Amino acid sequence: MRIKVRGKRRLQGVVEISGAKNSAVAIIPAAVLADEPVTIRNIPDIQDVRTLIGLLQEIGYSTTYQDNVLHLKQVTKIDSEIKSDDVKKLRGSYYFMGAFLGKLRRIKMRQSGGCDLGRRPINFHLDGFKKMGAKIEDEGEQISINAPKLTGSKIDLEFPSVGATINIMLAAVKAKGTTIINNAAIEPEIIDVGNFLISMGAAIEGLGSPTIKIVGVKYFHGTDFRVSPDRIEAGTYLILGALSKGKGLTVRNIEADKMTSLLNLLRAIGCRIDLKENEIFIKTESQLQNFHIVTKPYPGFPTDLGQLITVLMLIVEGESSLKETIFSNRFSHVYELKKMGADIRVEEDTIYVKGPSKLNGATLVAHDLRCAAALILASTLNRGLTIVENIEVLLRGYENPIQKLQKLGLNIQVEEKKEDISLHI
Ligand code: EPU
């Protein structure tokens, strides 16, 4: 699938932000810990969510998913092996490891997939499970984890990994005894997942701090839980607002206190930012300044917005840079932006951009989720035609992006290839 964009910078209007992808992809697997039916609201309608719902159905759940509300009920005995290859389609499927350990004390599944951002080992997750008594057989493609006596432990993370913090938390909430996670990640999505678990009866203290204490419990009741808004989707549209020369963009249904690093940067380089209760208005009224930024764990500048912010560097005067410190290779968009004529290069872990760049039309390839979003942002800067191939990767993590962008005034269309169309017949 590909999209065609006729670029235009006069974009304006209101965009509604959906539920957080990185909360939802953990909360859905976490729901298997419930001993009663659960309802989860504000689940974004994205491909990763659809894949996880399919996996739940295969595991033994009846599901209904409509208007962003997901109802889940276990209807058959759950087998400890997830046979489907679909776990390879996304990263979040690895949360079945922690959740199954908590519920069944064992799991066998294929390794999860996700965006290619360089090396993405899961040694911190597995070391945590081992400390809780698990035996692991890692056969490359397949992984089996068994912990008949899953027991709370003190786990010191080498790095505040989002995935490891959540996965260990999922195993610990139903383990015997107390688990302490030191150097835990403090991303808002951890708090979201933790609150979901607490709403079912989990005993967790310290969410949002580097030390999380979990006392295992035996039974989880049902819940009706609402996922928080997606701060990365909101950031994507705020950067679009900064690029735009329209009357301003309102990004609605957000939690601004979770976006401080981005908002501070946008203000510092010259954007007008007005905050209201659950919305942010952004407008670029004057020439923006060049800037240098480093990605960091929360509350630092998020790696997930790194590729996107480099597009903003294309319109400012002088050299700007982004140092990526979380993933070893999150630069897939650089080569694509070069095809458009951007003056952009990578040296070691840093992207350098010289602006302003006059971009030309080109046919680009989206290599990963945030790369796709960055290329669409860049396409607005070129008045000609930009084609972005492999746009499926965008739909893995953004809800209704095409409709939302069209509503802001962008001429963007999806074009299915002949092979794609024949699949639907
Ligand atoms: N790491 C290890 N060993 C581990 C775990 C992580 O070496 O066991 C390393 C990673 O290789 C990486 C760093 O630690 O260099 C950070 O990884 P982390 O575990 O924090 O990231 P993740 O759980 O794989 C989640 C999000 C990412 C987001 C990062 C950082 C999900 C499904 N994914 O990934 O989201 O970039 O946290 O905030 O929640 C995205 O949305 O585009 C995306 C990639």
Q: Summarize pLDDT for 260-283 with one digit per residue, the tens.
A: 999 999 999 999 999 998 999 999
pLDDT value for 425: 37
pLDDT at 40 over 50: yes
**Residue with CA nearest ligand 1 atom 11:** 120
Confidence of residue 420 (pLDDT cuts 50, 70, 90): low
Q: Is 125 in the pocket of ligand 1 (CB under 6 A)?
A: yes
pLDDT value for 232: 98
Q: Is 91 in the pocket of ligand 1 (CB under 6 A)?
A: yes
Confidence of residue 54 (pLDDT cuts 50, 70, 90): very high
Pocket test for ligand 1, best of 111, 130, 161 (most atoms within 8 A of CB): 161
Cross-strand partners of 136: 145
Half-sphere exposure of 325 (CA within 13 A, CB side): 14
- Å from CA of 163 to ligand 1 middle: 6
Q: What are the backbone dihedrals phi and psi of residue 381, each rounded to the nearest 5 degrees, phi first? A: -85, -15
pLDDT tens, 201-234?
999 999 999 999 999 999 999 999 999 999 999 9
- Å from CA of 121 to ligand 1 middle: 9
Q: Provide mean pLDDT across the span 72-98.
A: 95
Pocket test for ligand 1, best of 326, 367, 394 (most atoms within 8 A of CB): 326
0.75 cut: is pTM over it? yes
| CATH 3.65.10.10 residue spans of the chain | 2-18+229-415, 21-226
Which atom from ligand 1 is nearest to the alpha carbon of 328? 15
Half-sphere exposure of 131 (CA within 13 A, CB side): 22
Concerning whether 371 is annotated as a catalytic residue, the answer is no
- Å from CA of 420 to ligand 1 middle: 31
| Residues in Cβ contact with 121 at an 8 Å cutoff, skipping those fewer than 6 apart | none
Pocket test for ligand 1, best of 88, 162, 193, 303 (most atoms within 8 A of CB): 162
Q: Is 329 in the pocket of ligand 1 (CB under 6 A)?
A: no
Q: Which CATH superfamily is domain 2-18+229-415 in?
A: Enolpyruvate transferase domain (3.65.10.10)
- Å from CA of 253 to ligand 1 middle: 25
Which atom from ligand 1 is nearest to the alpha carbon of 92? 32
Topology adopted by domain 21-226: UDP-n-acetylglucosamine1-carboxyvinyl-transferase; Chain (3.65.10)
Q: Is 113 in the pocket of ligand 1 (CB under 6 A)?
A: no
Q: Is 396 in the pocket of ligand 1 (CB under 6 A)?
A: no
Q: Is 301 in the pocket of ligand 1 (CB under 6 A)?
A: no
Which atom from ligand 1 is nearest to the alpha carbon of 159? 14
Confidence of residue 15 (pLDDT cuts 50, 70, 90): very high
pLDDT at 91 over 70: yes
pLDDT value for 393: 96
Of the listed 115, 242, 243, 256, which one is catalytic? 115
pLDDT value for 19: 98
pLDDT value for 424: 44
C-alpha distances in Å from residue 32, one per residue of 27, 102, 264? 9, 9, 39
**Residue with CA nearest ligand 1 atom 40:** 304
Cross-strand partners of 151: 176
Distance CA(387)–CA(4), nearest Å, equals 5
- Å from CA of 408 to ligand 1 middle: 31
**Residue with CA nearest ligand 1 atom 14:** 161
Which atom from ligand 1 is nearest to the alpha carbon of 368? 42
Q: Is 369 in the pocket of ligand 1 (CB under 6 A)?
A: yes
pLDDT value for 96: 97
Q: Is 119 in the pocket of ligand 1 (CB under 6 A)?
A: yes
Q: Which of 389, 380, 381, 388 is nearest to 410 (CA)?
A: 380
Q: Is 20 in the pocket of ligand 1 (CB under 6 A)?
A: no
pLDDT tens, 389-414?
999 999 999 999 999 999 999 999 99
**Residue with CA nearest ligand 1 atom 25:** 162
pLDDT tens, 334-390?
999 999 999 999 999 999 999 998 999 999 999 999 999 999 999 999 989 999 999
